[in-house]
Amino acid sequence: MKKNVLVSISGLQYEIDKDEAVEVISVGEYYNKNGKHYVLYEEILEEVAGVTNCTIKITDNQIDIIKRGANNVHMVFETNKKNTTYYQTPFGELQIGIYTNQIEVHEEEDKIIADINYGLDINYSFVSDCQIQIKLTSKKQQES
């Protein structure tokens, strides 16, 4: 995997009456340290004219998503565990609970795909079942 990567994070939130999809695409920097995958990238929030610096750490059984800036959170996804954290946004703070059902990580020479299935609650109330796919692709592969 090259240092410069294209980061694609797509999520799906399963609602009772509709499913809501979200996708963020950004350019990032990839590192592998002690068998763990790291990617650093920025999210631009147009509604508040802010930037959030993001770090994703991927191992076989745990994925961390850390955001600092306009939004602040450290989400930990561990299979069959519930982790609680505070999500600070420009509009206020939320307590979120993440119960991870499944993590699958697929590695290729110039690509890493991580799929996460989890349940989400906000302030101790269940919101929905969710799915996130994190795709890291070497930037050089994208240009050809």
Residue 1 has pLDDT above 80, yes or no: no
The answer to whether the CB of 70 falls within 8 A of the CB of 53 is: no
Beta bridge partners of 25: 8
For 4-143, CATH number out of 3.40.190.10, 3.40.710.10, 2.40.128.20, 3.30.1510.10 equals 2.40.128.20
Residue 104 has pLDDT above 80, yes or no: yes
Torsion region of 92: left, alpha or beta (phi above 0 gives left; psi -120 to 50 gives alpha): left
Helix (H) or strand (E) holding 143: helix 139-143
pTM score of the predicted model: 0.88
Helix (H) or strand (E) holding 142: helix 139-143
The span from the first CA to the last CA of the chain, in angstroms, equals: 15
**Which of 1-5, 53-57, 69-73, 89-93 has maximum average pLDDT?**
53-57
